[in-house]
Structure formats: structure tokens, C-alpha cells
Structure 1
Amino acid sequence: MHKVTKTNQNARRFSILLIAAFAAVYIFWGSTYLAIKYAIETLPPFLMAGSRFIFAGSILYVWARLSKDYEKPSFKHWRTSFIVGTLLLLGGNGGVVLAQHYISSSLAALLVATEPFWIVLLSWLWLKGTRPNWKVAFGLLIGFVGVYLLIGGQGGNSAESGTGQILGAFLVIAGAFSWALGSMYGLRATTPKSSALTAGMQMLSGGLVLTVVGTLKGEWTSFSIADISANSWFALAYLIIFGSLIGFTAYSWLLKNAQPAKVATYAYVNPVIAVFLGWLIAGEFFTMQMLVGAGIIVGSVALITSQDKSEKGAAEEIEIHESNTPTGNCKTLSASA
């Protein structure tokens, strides 16, 4: 009886953690579109992103270092961190940040929604995972339609044209693929058991690469600290705390504890948050078409995250070490959890 009660408590605790992690990725990452827009007004893109992740990564690394279950990272751990950090932060985040110099944040949010396609495709073909069923495929399709309606409903924003728009669109799509590739690589590569340590190492590695790229581009000589606006400073602080410390850590934890297709649904929910904040803070339009699009997106997320009971028994089992969860109570979970 005691074992059953403890198991139920662990299951409830894990469910709460899962909901909180998804909420962090959905809401905080959705708000980063507007924050990035303000940050790069007076800050160079690669140095801004690099400093953001180095600062946040340092905090997480020290926090993990002082924890009781700290394990000294091996060479393989650092190798994985540099590969994943480069793919996620330089290729993924860096691509989106740079693209917003050429296209609107709304168009960037729409194009980022291609990331679930890459996640599901790579999970199936590369990781030899379960073939996507009709619910997942249909959910991905209508989710993309919903994002299109959502962003297309902004009647007051005109899209940029010419080679700049093509370049910006390419950067975002390439960034979405890079993020998906890094996520899939990190899922099976050798990483520390601690999610905080893993996130900190990846942010330190990716931030260092971003800073090197910014230095090679000559960004240190293209701006003055005295010219940085208060909005950019505030946006950078917001990106560090909510986008990196909380959001990225939650994402890293989800990759170890949830099905990839479910984790990828953030790319559909983030634009809803981004457009709402744009309307609330920046005075952007909010139309009926956008409301319809938001409703379709919510429906697509529900469709992708649902599954037939008959499929649960066939789901691939993924071992989750105790220290992968903050509570240290979950040992083995289904990939569909």
C-alpha cells in the first residue's frame, strides 16, 4: 500500500513538473520574439546572443556545481555540449536573431513553425522512432495553417520584399532545421544526468561560439555601450532570466522526459504569445482571423499530444535517470509521457 501511494505521489509530482516545463517553454519563449526585437535595436545580434547565453550558462553551471548530485563533466560531455550548443544557439537562435534584421518578427514566428516538421522527420528517420500516425501528421498540417492565419491576420504590417526577405526567410528555416538537429542529437548523445548542468554547459558552449562569430564579424567595433538604450538593456535581462535560465532549462528537461513531437509543439504556441504581446505592448493589430488562427493552433497541439490507448503499449521506453528530474523520483517513463 505504501509503495502504491508513493508511486501515485511521484506520478502527480512528475505531471506537475511536465505542465510547468511546457508552460515555461510556451509562454516565456513566446515572449522572446518581442524581447529580441528590442534588444537588437541598439545591440549587435551575435554579441547580444552570446553574452545572454554565457551569463545564463555561468549561473546554471555554478548552481549545478554546488548541488549535492554534481558530477564532474567528462570530455564526452563537453563535446556534446559544444555540438548541441552550436546547433541550437548559433544555428537556431542566432539564425532567428540575425533574420530579424531582414524580416518582421511575425514572419520569423511563422517560419519557425516549420521546426516540428523537422523534429518529427528526424525522430522517425534518424532515431528510428515510431512512424508518425495520422493524428500527428494532421496536427502538424493544421498547426502550420493556424500559424499562417494568425500571422496573416496582422493587417497593419506589410512584409518586406526583395533579397533581404529571401535571406531572412532562409536564415529562419535553416535555423529551425539546426535547432531540430541539435535537439535530436542531444537526445541520444552522452550528457550529464543533471538537466541544470546540461543546460548550463550547452549555453556556455553555444554562447562562446556566438561571441567568436560576433568578434569575427567585427561587432565589437560597430557599437558603443553608451548608445545602448534602456529598452535593449531591459530586453537583454529578460532574455537571460526568462528566455535562457528558465525557458532553456525547461526545454532541456523536456527533451529527456517527453516525446519529441510533443516538445516541438512550442513552435505553434509561441507565435500566439508573440502576437498577443505585440498587440498588448507594441500596439499591433489583433483581428478575428488571428483569433481563428489561435484556436486552430490550440486544436493542433491537442491533436499532436493525444494518442490512442492501443498505441501506448507499443511506445518506445526511454530510461530516465533519477537525477534528470529536480525531484529525483522518476526512474522509467514511456516516451509518450
Structure 2
Amino acid sequence: MTTSSKSPSILLVVIAFAIVYLVWGSTYFFIRIAVQGGLPPFILGAIRFTTAGLLLMSWCIIKGEKIFVAKDIINAAVTGALLLFVANGIVIWTEQTLPSAMVAILVSSAPIWFILLDKPNWAFNFKLKSTIFGLAIGFAGVILLFSEQIGDLFKSSDTHSKLPWMLLLVLGTISWSAGSLYSKHKHPSVSASVSTAWQMIMAGLIYIPVSFLHHEYDHLNWNQIPASSWGALIYLIIFGSITAYSAYVWLLQVRPATQVSTYAYVNPVIAVLLGVVFAGENISFIQFTGLAIILASVLLINLAKYRKPKVDVAVLAEVE
């Protein structure tokens, strides 16, 4: 996907949202398969993002796109570090200690941070009360979705020991929101594909020394890693990184950040549904209610952008 001065087609925007919603929701499932099969988390990040970035960059070179623009490479490095290393790395790291339910809830607070950190657009974002209300009930829906698991967590005796990890995950969520907004407001002179490739390459390179610092290679036996883990890694490279992350970066350039941030509410829904379909998990009435609330909030946030076309288009032109 490339950036254009013209307004993108509604169909292309819908396809990009569908990719981000569905594919990213499935990556939790495939990350778990890869890690449980023996791929250490930071090695996983290094291979995933470096490979995906190099593949995407190769495609850009084949198309004859401009690659080396110093300013854009620096901006891409900052964005990649904030999004793919700090935020994504923290998620992978904390999932070894925190229950996936708590991880999903804390990550879903991203839309709130999008609004709080996007100072240039405070006047626009806070003007749309339906958007604020949609974000609020969406977060409430995520909490309701995982309410039963939360209850079990706080009944355990090691709740306090998990608090530092929870705070670290909040920091990761803030980093993701800040990196996304940085990317949105730093308009690159290169295409979105080139910018995305640099972001992934830079982030992947950061993972490499960190994996050594954590001694992940000391006891790693590549021959013992099952085919399922390699298959999950390939899925993460092709679909999770090249396809979905490219769609996300492109959406940040053409749609309001509050609208793009709704992925954080839909991804847990997809993760739960995958558990029901592939892992034989059951869904309770409370969880079903949470799913319905989340989807209603996303609908509310999106509809708000089209309620007053003449006013919103003029404002969105300034935002984009």
C-alpha cells in the first residue's frame, strides 16, 4: 500500500482494517505456538522483523522505489523501536509471567493513550463525544470479556508479584501509542512500504543484541524446534508483519488515529474466537456480552466519522 495525495477508496480502507483486525488478533495464537515450541521471545522478534523487513525492502527495490533517505530512515528507526521493540517486546516478555487475559486488557488501553497523547488533535478528538463514549465502553467490554479470568488472578497469592509486570505492560502500551502517533505526524518522503520495511529492519536489529544479553542462545537447540513453531514464525513474518503491520502503518497515514486504534478492542475478540474454534474453549454468557459491547463500541467510533460529512471531511483533511 502506498500513500497518495488523493483520498483512498473506502474499499481499500475496509480491507486494511479487516487485515489489522483479523490477522493481528490471530498473532497471539501463533506467538504462543512459536514460543512454546522452543523459540525464545527475543530471538523470535529478531528473526521475525528482520526477515519481514528485508523481504518487504527487496520488493520495494524491485519496484524501483527510493530507499535511502536519511531523515526517513531515522524517523522509521524511532517508530520501529517504540512499536516493534519496546511495545511488542514487552508484550512477548510479559506473556511469560502474566495471564493472557491481563495482557489483553492492558494492551486494549491503547485507544485511551492515543487520545491523551495526540495533543495536536485534542480539539477534534474531544469534540466527538460519541467517539470518547465508544472508546470507554470498548475498554469496559474488554474488561467484561476477561472478567472471570481477572477474578481468578486476584484470588491467587502472587498478585503483588505480578504488579511490576502489569506496570511494564502499561509502559509498553504507551510506547505503542506514542510510536504510532510519531509515525502519523512524521510524513515520510518515501512510500509507506519503504517506511514500514525500515521500521521492521531497525527493530529486528535491536532484538539481536538483547537476545544475547538474555543468553537465549546458550541452551538453544535449533534441531529440537518443531515444525509447528517454524510454521507459526512464517505466518508471523508474512501475515503478522508484512501484511498486517504494513496495513496498520498505511491506515495511520490516511485515517484518524482514534479510528485506527480500535484494533486494540477487536484483537482480543479474535483471540477468544480462535480459542473457541481451535482449542475447544467454551465461551460464557458474560464473555459473549463483552464481545457484543466491544463490537458495538467499534461501530460507534467508526460511525462518528461519517455523521457530519461536510464538517468532518474538512477537519480530517487537516488531521491527515
Q: TM-score, normalised by structure 1?
A: 0.85
Specify the alignment match of 1:75 in structure 2: 70
Report how many residues are paired: 308
Deviation at 1:284, TM superposition (A): 2.3
Q: Does 1:92 align with 2:117?
A: no
Specify the alignment match of 1:202 in structure 2: 199
The residue type equivalent to 1:120 in the other structure is I
Per residue, is there more helix in 1 or in 2? Answer: 2
Specify the alignment match of 2:50 in structure 1: 54
Q: Does 1:139 align with 2:134?
A: yes
- CA RMSD in angstroms comes to 2.2
CA contact (8 A) 1:39 1:231 kept: yes
Q: Does 1:315 align with 2:309?
A: no
CA contact (8 A) 1:150 1:289 kept: yes
Specify the alignment match of 1:240 in structure 2: 237
CA contact (8 A) 1:154 1:284 kept: no
Which runs of 4 or more aligned residues in structure 1 lie more than 4 Å from their structure 2 counterparts after TM superposition?
Answer: 126-129, 153-160
Q: 2:111 aligns with which of 109, 116, 136?
A: 116
CA contact (8 A) 1:26 1:269 kept: yes
Matches within 5 A, 1:159-198: 161-198=158-195
- Structure 2 gaps of 5+ residues are 1-5
The residue type equivalent to 1:92 in the other structure is A
Matches within 5 A, 1:280-291: 280-291=277-288
CA contact (8 A) 1:154 1:287 kept: no
Cα deviation code 1:32-65 (max 9, x no counterpart):
1111111111111111011100001101001111
The residue type equivalent to 2:46 in the other structure is G
Indicate the SS of the match to 1:193.
Answer: coil
Specify the alignment match of 2:3 in structure 1: none
Q: TM-score, normalised by structure 2?
A: 0.89
Deviation at 1:180, TM superposition (A): 0.5
1:229 & 1:196 partners in 2: Cα distance? Answer: 32
The residue type equivalent to 2:170 in the other structure is I
Matches within 5 A, 1:288-307: 288-307=285-304
CA contact (8 A) 2:102 2:150 kept: no
1:126 & 1:177 partners in 2: Cα distance? Answer: 17
Deviation at 1:188, TM superposition (A): 1.8
1:259 & 1:313 partners in 2: Cα distance? Answer: 11
Specify the alignment match of 1:27 in structure 2: 22
Deviation at 1:157, TM superposition (A): 7.3
Q: 2:255 aligns with which of 254, 258, 262?
A: 258
Deviation at 1:234, TM superposition (A): 1.8
Deviation at 1:314, TM superposition (A): 5.0
Deviation at 1:175, TM superposition (A): 1.2
Specify the alignment match of 2:62 in structure 1: 66
Residues 137-146 or 264-273, more deviating: 137-146
CA contact (8 A) 2:87 2:173 kept: yes
Specify the alignment match of 2:99 in structure 1: 104
Q: Does 1:150 align with 2:145?
A: yes
CA contact (8 A) 1:37 1:105 kept: no
Q: Does 1:44 align with 2:40?
A: yes
Indicate the SS of the match to 2:315.
Answer: coil
The residue type equivalent to 2:24 in the other structure is W
Percent identity of paired positions between Structure 1 and Structure 2: 36
The residue type equivalent to 2:108 in the other structure is A
CA contact (8 A) 1:84 1:202 kept: yes
- Structure 1 gaps of 5+ residues are 1-9, 319-333
2:279 & 2:104 partners in 1: Cα distance? Answer: 16
Specify the alignment match of 1:329 in structure 2: none
Q: Using CA pairs below 8 Å that are at least 6 residues apart, which structure has the higher relative contact order?
A: 2
